[in-house]
Structure formats: C-alpha cells, structure tokens
Amino acid sequence: MKSTTGEKIFYAANHILMMLVGLACLLPIIHVLALSLSDKHAIASGSVVFWPVNLDFAGYRVLFKETPIVEAFRNSLIITVVGTLLNMIFTVLAAYPLSKRYFIGRKFYSFAVIFTMLFGAGMIPGYLLIKSLGLINSYGALWFPGLVSVYNLMVLRSFFEGLPEELEEAARIDGCSEWRLILQIVLPLSVPVLAALTLFYGVGHWNAFMSVLLYITDSSKHNLSVLVQQMIRSQSLLMEMNNVQSDLANTLTPEGVKASAVMVMTLPMLIVYPFLQKYFVKGVMIGAVKG
C-alpha cells in the first residue's frame, strides 16, 4: 500500500526526532570519552569536543594506580551479579504460581503484590527496618528490600500465562515434575522476557547509589557509583593527585581523571546491552501485550 504525503511527512519527522534524541544521548558519552583520552593542555584549553586531542592515557593510569577504582569495580560486580541472580530466581518463583488459574489464593496474592505498588513506607521506616534486621553495612541491605520488582513480576506472569497449556499437559502426562517443567520447558521458552528483566535488574544494581550511601558505612564496600560521585564532588581527587609521580602529574588534570572514572563506570553496561538488546523489545512487548 502506497503511503500518502501526510504519512511520509509523519515518518520523516519521527525519524528526525529519533535521530536527535539518539544524538542527545550519544554525544555526551563521546565527549567524556574524548576528555578521558586527551592530554592536559587540550583539556585545559577547552579544545576537546568529540575527538581526543593528543591521545594520552594518563588519566586511566592514575585512576587505576592511585584510587580504589579496582576495588569499587569489584564491589559493583558482586552487587550486580549476585543481586540480579537473586532477583531473577525469586521473580520466577513468584510469577509462575501466580500465572496458574488452579493456584489457590491466586487473586488474593496478586492483589497483595500489586497493593505494594501504591504505597511505600518511606526512607526512614525503611532504614529502621534494615537496621532492625541487622543488615546495615552488608550487601543484603541492597538485595533483599527490592528482591522482587512488582512491575517485572507482572510482566513475567503475563508471559507465563500466554504459554500454551498443552505443553504443560503433555509434560505431566510424560511424568514431568513441577520443577522439571519449570527448568526444562517454561524457562527455555521464556528467554526473551528473562533477558529483558535481567537487563532491568542488572542496570538497577550497577547504578545503585542512594541505597549504598544509606546502608553501607564501610567505604571499602562502596561501589563505582558512590566512588565516582565522591571524586566528582569532593576535593579528595586533587589531594590524591598531589601524591602522584611527577611524570604523570605534569600530564593530567582532575577533569581527565574524572572523565576516565565515568567511562569505567559506563562502559560495562554499554558492552553488555548489545547482547541483550535483541531480546529487550520482544520480551517486554510479549509480556505486556498478553497481559
């Protein structure tokens, strides 16, 4: 069917708008990357825009040698991997029974879960609860309060409800147990939505900031988000740079090191996302439409 002139204009305007939005998201990252790879004089003169000037890796060398960036990266990795794994396990275990019509109390539990989306206790009651549970200064304070996202639970439940019941019936006739049904039939068919939810949970844990400030009192357990924020807002970076070897101190600026820290924090998610992107839209749309 041939598009009308109005439709062509509409599609062209959409493409232009999406390109502008994409550039608005991409150009700041490119600028920070260029800053992290440029030398001291280029950064100080403001000549760095979207391409490195006088390629220099001094910012990264100082970052990895003189700051606890490696330890913070390891902490972020632990928080993200373990937290995402726990999130996915408990989300699947909650969504699967709620998707079955024969589950006794299905409506009540569904209402109880959705009800938590409407009201929240707030920061102070949440802190007191975490403290009373003895989770202060442990990563459990980051994992357990948000163990299951209600939105993600509803998406996954809707996806499970859309799976053919004939598969379950055939598996039960063959003597398949409930656990085997989940592990060998349901989950392999749910890879798109599971990948999308894994990305949701993973990004949330990787970017965790306020919860780390509230519950983690030991600075050696801080993640990249907190470390980078402290480097950007405080003068501690300048003090640390005064102790750097003279050959490096003459070739870097605080802005270059800060840009390097931002890139170290950002790159892992940029690397992981393309591998999950093909499942992203498909998984969310299937779970949402069938709900």
The token duo for 20 is 């502008």
Task: Go through 42-60 and write b for each residue having 16 or more CB atoms within 10 A of its CB, e for each that does not.
Answer: bbeeeebeeebbeebbbbb
When pLDDT is cut at 50, 70 and 90, the band that residue 289 belongs to is: very low
Cβ neighbors of 178 (< 8 A, separation 6 or more) are none
The token duo for 265 is 């924090």
Separation CA 277–CA 40 (nearest Å): 37
This model's pTM is above 0.85: no
Separation CA 61–CA 70 (nearest Å): 12
Phi, psi of 177 (to 5 degrees): -80, 170
**Domain that residue 34 falls in:** 5-45
pLDDT greater than 50 at residue 287: no
* Residue 265 near residue 69 (C-beta atoms within 8 A): no
Same domain for 105 and 176? yes
222-252 pLDDT, tens digit each: 888 888 888 777 655 555 555 555 455 555 6
What's residue 91's pLDDT? 92
Between 240 and 72, residue with greater pLDDT = 72
* Residue 38 near residue 48 (C-beta atoms within 8 A): yes
Q: Is residue 69 part of a domain?
A: yes
Average pLDDT over residues 3-21: 87
What's residue 241's pLDDT? 54
**Over the chain, what is the mean pLDDT?**
81
Q: Is residue 228 part of a domain?
A: yes
DSSP of 200-219, one letter per residue? Answer: HHHHHHHT--HHHHHH---G
Residue type, 184: Q
97-132 pLDDT, tens digit each: 888 888 888 889 888 888 888 877 778 888 888 888
Separation CA 176–CA 170 (nearest Å): 9
Q: Is residue 255 part of a domain?
A: yes
Between 183 and 56, residue with greater pLDDT = 183
Same domain for 16 and 160? no
Cβ neighbors of 38 (< 8 A, separation 6 or more) are 48, 52, 53, 54, 55, 56, 256
Separation CA 191–CA 49 (nearest Å): 41
Q: How many distinct structural domains can be found in the chain?
A: 2
Residue 80: Cβ within 10 Å count: 23
Q: Is residue 93 part of a domain?
A: yes
Q: Is residue 200 part of a domain?
A: yes
Same domain for 105 and 227? yes
What's residue 246's pLDDT? 47
202-214 pLDDT, tens digit each: 888 998 888 888 8
Separation CA 79–CA 227 (nearest Å): 14
73-106 pLDDT, tens digit each: 899 999 999 999 999 999 999 988 888 888 888 8
pLDDT greater than 50 at residue 53: yes
The token duo for 178 is 């409930």
Q: Is residue 53 part of a domain?
A: no
What's residue 231's pLDDT? 76
Same domain for 82 and 217? yes
Same domain for 226 and 82? yes
The pairs formed by 71-75 with CB atoms below 8 angstroms and a separation of 24 or more are 71/220, 72/222, 72/223, 72/224, 72/226, 72/227, 73/224, 73/264, 75/221, 75/222, 75/223, 75/224
pLDDT greater than 90 at residue 9: no
Residue 84: Cβ within 10 Å count: 21
The token duo for 192 is 């798109």
When pLDDT is cut at 50, 70 and 90, the band that residue 69 belongs to is: confident
Same domain for 126 and 267? yes
